[in-house]
Copies of this chain bind each other. A is one copy, B any other.
Amino acid sequence: MSQAIQSQSVGPQAKGAITLSVDAMGGDRGPAAVVAGLAICAPKMPGTQFLLHGDEAQLAALVAAQPALAGRVTIRHAARVVTMEDKPAQIMRHGQGTSMWGAVEAVKTGEASAAVSCGNTGALMAVAMIRLRRLPEINRPAIACLWPSRNPHGFNLMLDAGADIKADAEDLLQYAMMGASYARNGMGLTRPRVGLLNVGTEEHKGSAELKAASDLIAEAAARGDYTYIGYVEGTDLPSDRVDVIVTDGFTGNVALKTAEGTARLIGDFLRQSFKATLFSKLTAAFASGALNRLRERMDPRRANGGVFLGLNGTVVKSHGGSDATGHAAAVEMAWRLARSGFHERLAARVASGVASGAIAGQSAEGAKTPDGEPRKSE
């Protein structure tokens, strides 16, 4: 690859000429849901072009059936698909020729500003790591997800949702910096409030590592343009006293799935409650307006789109089980971030954090890829 193209890969497209790279394959509902999602969001983003990766014959027919996509989509044939069963380490080595690899590669070459995929999360992170590489200052990339909340904008941000299973104090500081940057650029908050997830809000709670992280995050608040509110608990995840919640990827992943499971349980119980008696079956019809309002507010599709942070380029993970509405939300998220020049701002912010000594004693190289593989040089 020529140096000219490589240097282009860290810059966005000119404003008004955004190109998004979309992996059409690998989701539970197949490419039809992805293309239908594009048709939903394309009218909201005039001028934006889509590079669509996957089986050419299938995709051509699906795109042709969507008038909203006329003249907006370039199909890139990929014969192979990453499955949910594929191991990240294997895809990292032999993933070339898959639609996922192609989608990420287009960000690497600078053809696209951001990539979106609904495939295997671990494999997507592995491909993103190997092709885009980490920002020089970042040890562990993170996945940031939206969390339905009481805040006026309706969401908080939580990271890491599961890019890695652990994080030390300096990783957590980097998550705080990156999460705050995302909240400014993707959510329009000028000075996000950052909290560190713990088992209590008192200062003496939690491990020594967490205390060290808390100190680092507090010290870096001015430089990172955020307000640090200290420890928060699980009950605070949907709270309006915090915007960005920082935690390691193991805890974040368990919390995210616990909330999903709880919401689904309550939804099921609610349906059963309305089916319990003939009278309640009747009232369900009358209550449908209120219940639909609730459903809309809690709709996981609205919050779809995990953003990979800490790489040389923007990658958005759409939920594997998403339908067209969910995929549309993920593509819109990628578009919003591309349009705001998020990636360049984040890179600058993280670099300034290091330059000013926030992440002392850390080697910018020496870090590991997922699965502990030594990083391939390129």
Contacts and interface: CB of A to CB of B under 8 A. Distances in A.
Contacts of A71: none
A276 B262 CA distance: 24
Interface residues of A, number: 59
A367 interface: no
Given A165-B199, A274-B290, A276-B289, 13 more contacts: A148-B265, A235-B258, A251-B251, A255-B255, A255-B258, A262-B266, A266-B294, A270-B290, A272-B293, A273-B290, A273-B291, A276-B293, A287-B290
Interface in A237-284: 237-239, 247, 249-251, 253-266, 268-270, 272-274, 276-277, 279-280, 282-284
Contacts of A197: 254
A338 B166 CA distance: 40
A162 interface: yes
A236 interface: yes
Contacts of A262: 237-238, 258-259, 262-263, 266
Nearest to A247: B254
Given A199-B162, A261-B236, A264-B235, A276 B290 contact: yes
A15 interface: no
A191 B279 CA distance: 39
A238 B204 CA distance: 31
Interface string A30-67: 00000000000000000000000000000000000000
Contact of A279 (B148, B247, B253, B289): B289
A260 B273 contact: no
A261 B284 contact: no
Contacts of A165: 199, 206-207
Contacts of A249: 199
A234 B257 contact: yes
A297 interface: yes
Given A262-B259, A294-B269, A286 B289 contact: no
A53 to B, nearest CB: 25
B287 A287 contact: yes
Q: Which of A249, A287, A294 has the most CB of B within 10 A?
A: A287
Contacts of A286: 282-283, 286-287
A189 interface: no
A12 B286 CA distance: 55
A365 interface: no
Interface in A286-306: 286-287, 289-291, 293-294, 297-298
A150 interface: yes
A216 to B, nearest CB: 19
A261 to B, nearest CB: 4
A275 to B, nearest CB: 9
A233 interface: yes
A116 to B, nearest CB: 22
Which are the 9 A-B pairs with shortest beta-carbon distances?
A: A234-B257, A234-B258, A235-B261, A280-B290, A273-B290, A273-B293, A283-B286, A199-B253, A262-B262
Interface in A338-356: none
Q: Which of A237, A254, A270, A286 has the most CB of B within 10 A?
A: A254
Contact of A289 (B237, B258, B283): B283
A87 interface: yes
A261 B290 contact: no
A288 to B, nearest CB: 9
A213 to B, nearest CB: 14
Contacts of A266: 262-263, 266, 294, 298
